[in-house]
Amino acid sequence: MANRNTLHINKLDDFKKWLLSDGWEILDTKGDYEIIRAIKDKRLLSGYKKLEAKEHISLLDRDMDIVRAYLKARKETKQ
């Protein structure tokens, strides 16, 4: 399944920066809908933007632990 409402599209650049700082490598995207592709230790993360979904990135449920870690780190830096 996919999660379509956790990571807002305007956080994409910040999310990419966080991934890089966490040891991920940002790869070229594939296809018209993929907007992020990253790899770390043979684990692939992909995010998509659907035409009708203008505000959020669609991510697989298996990648939600990464997004949650990003959101937690972002929250901690604001405090």
What total of structural domains would you count in the chain? 1
Instruction: Write phi, then psi, for 5 (nearest 5 degrees).
Output: -145, 20
pLDDT of 71 over the 80 cut: yes
Q: Distance of alpha carbon 75 from its chain centroid, rounded?
A: 16
Confidence of residue 5 (pLDDT cuts 50, 70, 90): confident
Nearest to 37 by CA among 8, 14, 28: 28
Q: What pLDDT is stored for residue 6 in this prediction?
A: 85
53: CB partners within 8 A, 6+ apart: 4
In the chain, % of residues over pLDDT 90 = 62
pTM of the model: 0.88
* Structural tokens at position 27: 């790869």
53: pLDDT strictly greater than 80: no
**Residues of the domain holding 31:** 2-78
When pLDDT is averaged across residues 22-47 and rounded to a whole number, the result is 95
CATH number of the CATH domain containing 26: 3.30.310
* The amino acid at 35: I
